[in-house]
Amino acid sequence: MGEKMMRVAENEVRGKTVMSEGGLFLGILRNITVDQKTGELRNLLIEPSEDIDTRLYHVDEHGHIVLDFDTVKSVKDVVIVKD
């Protein structure tokens, strides 16, 4: 219904800067997880900036910040995620 559809090619966004809506530099996008059955994009895996307190985020076993793909607001020169 009100679900937004965003078409993103993974290779176009990998390595992009990830910023919050408020302008906070979160880090560099390293990967996107995908639901193998549906092909739906699930999570962003972000290599955190040294300035980020990773205790405030869900972090995977590799030290990447894990954010739901639903938090993505826009993808241009940088990836903007909801605060």
AA identity, residue 60: D
Q: What is the pLDDT of residues 9-49, one digit of tens each?
A: 656 678 999 999 999 999 999 999 989 999 888 999 999 99
CATH topology of domain 10-81: SH3 type barrels. (2.30.30)
- The answer to whether 25 and 19 have CB atoms below 8 angstroms apart is yes
For the chain, the structural domain boundaries read 10-81
- pTM, two decimal places: 0.83
DSSP string, the chain: ---------HHHHTT-EEEETT--EEEEEEEEEE-TTT--EEEEEEEE-TTS-GGGS-B-TTS-EEEEGGGEEEESSSEEE--
Position 4 pLDDT exceeds 50:
no
